[in-house]
Structures are given as C-alpha cells and as structure tokens.
A and B are shown apart, each in its own frame.
Chain A
C-alpha cells in the first residue's frame, strides 16, 4: 500500500488524498448537502439516517471481514430475512431471550455452511453464496409458510425486545450504539490482533499465507461466522424496530451492503481495506439517499446517483493506487 501510494510521492497532497479520499469525500459531501438541502444538518435528521443505516452497517461490518479475506458474501440479504422472521416469530412462542438464542444459533449454522463450502471445500464464494441467497430465501418461506409474522401488538410497547430497535441510552438511539460498538470491536480485532493479520494475509496473498503457516481454510471459515453473527445482530435490530417481519424484508440488502463496503474502499480482491472505511462508506450511502429524498427526487434518481457515486469511487480508488486515471495497458 505504502509503495503504491509512494509512486505519487510520499507525504505530498496527492498521496494524502489517495490514502484518505473517502474521509475527504465524506466531509465535502456533508458540507455540500448541508448547504444545498434544507434540514439536512439537523440533529434529528442526522440521528435518523445513522439509525436507519445501522442495520445495513452492522451487516457490512461482517461482510468487510469476508471481503478482506478475498471472498464475497451475497447470502446476507436472505439471511437477514430468515433471522428477522425467526426472531419475531419465536418472540411470542418461546420468549425474546430464547428466541434470540435460537435464531443466532440457526443463523450461525447457515454461516457455517457457507464457511465449510468456501473454506474447506474451496468452492467459489460468488457461486456458493449466490446459491445460498436463494436457498435461504426458500428456507424462510418454508419456516413461515409464506405468512408475515408480527409481535403481539399488546406486548409491543412493553416487551424488553423493543430496546434493540427503539430504545435509547442517554438520548442516543440503540441501533446507533450497537452499530458503533460492534464497529469498534470488529475494527480492533481486524486491525490489532493476530487473527486480523491472518485475515489480511489470506486475502492479500493466499499462497504466501499458507506457506507462512496460516490455516487458510479455518480463517475463511471463521469470516463467514463473523458475517453470520453480524446478520443475526442486524436481524434483532430490524425485528425490534419494525415489530414484525415479511419474508422478503432483506431482499436486495446484499447489494446495498456490498455497495457500502466498496464505497469505503475495501478491495474486492481482498487484503486491503478497513472497518472504519466501511462505516464511512455505509454512512455516505445512507446520507446520499436521505439527501435526495429530502430534495424530493424520485426513487430512480436515487438509484442512478447512488451507483454513479459508487462507480466513481471505485474508479478514483483504482486511479489513486496506480497514479493515473486511465489504465496504463490498453
């Protein structure tokens, strides 16, 4: 990384921008929207956006770990549907505590299936998780019989389960606290522990990692457990926020999550990126959609702008790394 940036000249302005482009983009973007959009920079709006982004954000934390190790996880959207349907359905049947426990075990089991297929059988992660995307959607429909599930309305305002999506501590909404706390924990693990270094090593250069004595299969397996764990947490927040679930509630989330990860600058080839950058990437996505909504733009404008921004970000990231805008090889 340092060597790549070095080509631009270490320490000069371009190098600084190249390394921290996402943060600069974030600040510029927030100021521009703040000036241009009425009510954008109000506390209520900022809090709302971070709160609603928290669900995608929590999932993105886990997916970042998977991507760092050089793989993909496209099954998170339908896993979120599965987890949310299950935790909401079990709430009235066996109680919130047991419901959360059973749901977490079930979701981790799905993550373990991903991990076994990709880590130990070395199957392509795109194909496996794309397959799991459909398979888990099917599982969700079998579980629910196609029906929506809801928490009994008479207990919605009293159950302690409401705390995850609707509670607050010292005036800060609980989803925000969970999102940031989890980001700090996973960020620390990834950046400062031997385990984190193994994840980067496997993603950066799998062969070298194996020759260095890293058990690649175990590391890959574990990243899918981290991803599934994050989806489980997101399911709890979502279920608690909505107090109900549809079978398709997480449909399309895999792309939003991946968009946030890519926007943050984590390389899809693995080995490069960070949790903090993903947090910023996900927040930018949330604020773009919120800003355009506040401006009253129709939904299709949001789709176009969002993806133009993502593609632009990827391009600038690549351009900064190679030191030129166009590919050197025609």
Chain B
C-alpha cells in the first residue's frame, strides 16, 4: 500500500516533469512516520497529512511509514534522498539512531523537518526545524488548570495530589512530568505532590496504580495523568472505590476524556490535535521551501480544555 503510494507519487512526478511548466512549482515532500496504525493519534495524523497534501496543488507528498522500526526508517530516509525529494519530514522512531541518516540528507542538500517528537540534540545542526507540541508547556498548563480549580474550590492551601506518568524513558512522558512538577509550586506552592508512578500510557495499568494510591492515601484531591487514557483509568478506579470529588487533569485530550468531561467526572486536559500536528509539519516544510523564516522550534498551539470551555472544541476523533 505504502509502496504503491510512493510509486504512484514517483510516477506522477515523472509525468509532471515531462509536462514542464507545472513541475517547476510542485514541491515533492517525503515523510517517514514512526508507526502508523499502532494508535489512534498516528492513524489520524497520517490521514490528515495526506488530505492536506492533496488539498495543496503545490505539494506532491511521498508518504512512508517505518512501522516502529529504526532500521526501516533509516532505509526510507536514504530512499527519499535517492529520489531527490525537495524536503524530508521525519517522525523519529528513535531520537539518536536516526541522526546519521539525517546528516546524510542534510549533506545531500535536502532540508529536514522533524515532526511530533524531536531527535537527539547532536542532530539539531542537520535539521531546519522541529514541528510539534511543546510537552513542557503542556505539563505546566496542566498544573495551572489544576491549581485554578483548587483555588475555585478554596483548597489550594491543603490539597494533596498524585501523578500517573507515561512510559518511563519516553521524552513526552519526561517533559510533561517536568513541566507539571516545575510549574505547580509556582502557582500553588501549598499543594503537595504525594507520589508519582508510571502508568505506561496504559489505561488498565493506570487503573491498577490508582487503586493502590487510593489504598495508601485517605485524602487525594487531584490526579495528574500524562494522557487522558491513563486519566480515565484513574477515574475508573476512583469511581469503583466510591471516592468522589477528586479533580482529574490529563493531557492529549482523547474522546474518552472529552466525554468524561461532558459528564462532569473529569475536570480538564490539554487539547492536542493530530490534525494540527500534521498540518503544522507540512506547512513548516513548505515554508522552508518557499524561503520563509521558520522558527527552529515551530510549536503548534495546544490549548487548555476544561469543563468550562469544552464547547469551543470538537470532540477528538481518537
């Protein structure tokens, strides 16, 4: 399927090259993604990327997927260099291992944009821009959401919270936790973070961790989860134990989190759209090709969403 896409794109471009004038304005942008199909976010991202590439008459996209395999991704980058595309977008399967391939693309004169999760710092000199969410800001915004709610409830001087973080070792998990832990004492210095344990992005694991927290602590006022999937797992545990009034705040608003907000059981999250993520990546690559100034860290906005303003957002499709 992917191969056929790539072949079709190559053929189409070859045909355009013969037709002369039209080819001069078409940018061929190749993308190698991390692992499409493994989760809803990446699946939606790919669809959105293909749709916005098709909607743009100036862009011809070569869409590839590494299937989570570093070696395959490196081979795909080399293929794209061979094909002499105008720009390469990479969603790294692994931040360090792709650096040599990125350098090769850079040396071949092809601008590289990293999308969603950044590569290791030693590769920064070989890339034009990083397009993606700012996870540290997401963490600090989550802290603000929680603190504001505690102030509204008048418990900002005594509240106790627990944190369920993402898979250990993942940059996203580390950055969100850091953003949250750094910001919370600034806005709500009296709130105590009792404990942090990983939920591995897994709702069932998170539910198990929360059950133990509920056994261990009689008084929990808030839960910060590294994404809504884990947040809803924690909510399940609290409901089963009959513990009410806990403020749940997550990140990456999932449909389940959005619905739980609608029922008034879940307080807030961070709205991160894979559609925005994909569009931002394509726009960043195109801007570089047309010679526009692009910031090195080209974040797309991930706003706060709570029960109060959720009507301004459409329900996430994943």
- Is A153 a contact partner of B212 (Cβ separation < 8 A)? no
Contact indicator per residue, chain B 237-277, by CB within 8 Å of chain A (1) or not (0): 00010000000000000111001100100000000000000
* Residue from B37, B197, B198, B209 within 8 A of A146 (CB atoms): B37
Contact partners of A48 in chain B: CB under 8 A: 211-212, 215
* Residue from A148, A153, A241 within 8 A of B259 (CB atoms): A153
Stretch from B76-84, B185-193, B200-208 forming part of the interface with A: B200-208
Contact partners of B211 in chain A: CB under 8 A: 48, 52
Chain A residue with Cβ nearest B40? A147
A219 adjacent to chain B (CB < 8 Å): no
A55 to chain B, nearest CB (A): 8
- Is B229 a contact partner of A246 (Cβ separation < 8 A)? yes
B36 adjacent to chain A (CB < 8 Å): yes
For the complex, give the distance between the alpha carbons of A52 and B211 in Å. 9
Chain A residue with Cβ nearest B195? A296
Q: Known interface pairs A44-B215, A244-B256. Does A146 touch B39 (Cβ–Cβ under 8 Å)?
A: yes
For the complex, give the distance between the alpha carbons of A242 and B208 in Å. 10
A328 to chain B, nearest CB (A): 41
Chain B residue with Cβ nearest A302? B197
- Is A153 a contact partner of B263 (Cβ separation < 8 A)? yes
A222 adjacent to chain B (CB < 8 Å): no
Contact partners of B4 in chain A: CB under 8 A: none
A145 adjacent to chain B (CB < 8 Å): yes
- Is A290 a contact partner of B39 (Cβ separation < 8 A)? no
Contact partners of A42 in chain B: CB under 8 A: 215
- Is A246 a contact partner of B203 (Cβ separation < 8 A)? yes
For the complex, give the distance between the alpha carbons of A145 and B38 in Å. 8
- Is A242 a contact partner of B43 (Cβ separation < 8 A)? no
For the complex, give the distance between the alpha carbons of A145 and B37 in Å. 6
B275 to chain A, nearest CB (A): 15
For the complex, give the distance between the alpha carbons of A244 and B216 in Å. 26
Chain A residue with Cβ nearest B196? A298
B-contacting residues, A220-251, CB 8 Å: 238, 241-244, 246-249, 251
Q: Known interface pairs A44-B215, A52-B211, A248-B38. Does A238 touch B318 (Cβ–Cβ under 8 Å)?
A: no
A192 adjacent to chain B (CB < 8 Å): no
Chain B residue with Cβ nearest A295? B216
Contact partners of B36 in chain A: CB under 8 A: 146
A302 to chain B, nearest CB (A): 9
Contact indicator per residue, chain B 153-174, by CB within 8 Å of chain A (1) or not (0): 0000000000000001000000
B42 adjacent to chain A (CB < 8 Å): yes
Contact partners of A150 in chain B: CB under 8 A: 255-256
A197 adjacent to chain B (CB < 8 Å): no
Contact partners of A145 in chain B: CB under 8 A: 37, 43
- Is B202 a contact partner of A246 (Cβ separation < 8 A)? yes
A47 to chain B, nearest CB (A): 10
For the complex, give the distance between the alpha carbons of A38 and B212 in Å. 12
- Is A147 a contact partner of B38 (Cβ separation < 8 A)? no
For the complex, give the distance between the alpha carbons of A150 and B260 in Å. 12
B236 adjacent to chain A (CB < 8 Å): yes
B132 adjacent to chain A (CB < 8 Å): no
* Residue from A243, A248, A294, A298 within 8 A of B236 (CB atoms): A243
Q: Known interface pairs A39-B215, A293-B197, A299-B168. Does A147 touch B318 (Cβ–Cβ under 8 Å)?
A: yes
For the complex, give the distance between the alpha carbons of A248 and B211 in Å. 21
For the complex, give the distance between the alpha carbons of A298 and B202 in Å. 17
Contact partners of B38 in chain A: CB under 8 A: 141, 146, 247-248
Contact partners of A38 in chain B: CB under 8 A: 216
B111 adjacent to chain A (CB < 8 Å): no
Contact partners of B256 in chain A: CB under 8 A: 148, 150, 153, 244
For the complex, give the distance between the alpha carbons of A238 and B207 in Å. 11
- Is A293 a contact partner of B168 (Cβ separation < 8 A)? no
- Is A299 a contact partner of B198 (Cβ separation < 8 A)? yes
Q: Known interface pairs A246-B39, A246-B229. Does A241 touch B204 (Cβ–Cβ under 8 Å)?
A: yes
- Is B260 a contact partner of A153 (Cβ separation < 8 A)? yes
Contact partners of A146 in chain B: CB under 8 A: 36-40, 42-43
B231 adjacent to chain A (CB < 8 Å): no
Chain A residue with Cβ nearest B38? A146
For the complex, give the distance between the alpha carbons of A300 and B38 in Å. 25
Chain A residue with Cβ nearest B318? A147
A224 to chain B, nearest CB (A): 25
B233 adjacent to chain A (CB < 8 Å): yes
Contact partners of A248 in chain B: CB under 8 A: 38-39, 202
A304 to chain B, nearest CB (A): 13
Contact indicator per residue, chain B 216-241, by CB within 8 Å of chain A (1) or not (0): 10000000000001001100100010
A175 to chain B, nearest CB (A): 11
A231 to chain B, nearest CB (A): 15
Chain A residue with Cβ nearest B212? A293
Contact partners of A238 in chain B: CB under 8 A: 204
Told that A39-B216, A42-B215, A293-B209 touch, could you supply 14 new A-B pairs with CB distance under 8 A? Answer: A48-B211, A146-B36, A146-B39, A146-B42, A148-B255, A150-B255, A150-B256, A166-B240, A242-B207, A246-B203, A246-B229, A248-B202, A249-B202, A300-B168
13 A-B residue contacts at CB 8 Å? A38-B216, A141-B37, A141-B38, A145-B37, A146-B38, A146-B39, A148-B255, A148-B318, A242-B207, A244-B203, A246-B39, A249-B202, A249-B204
Which 3 pairs across A and B sit closest by C-beta, in order of nearness? Answer: A146-B43, A146-B37, A147-B40
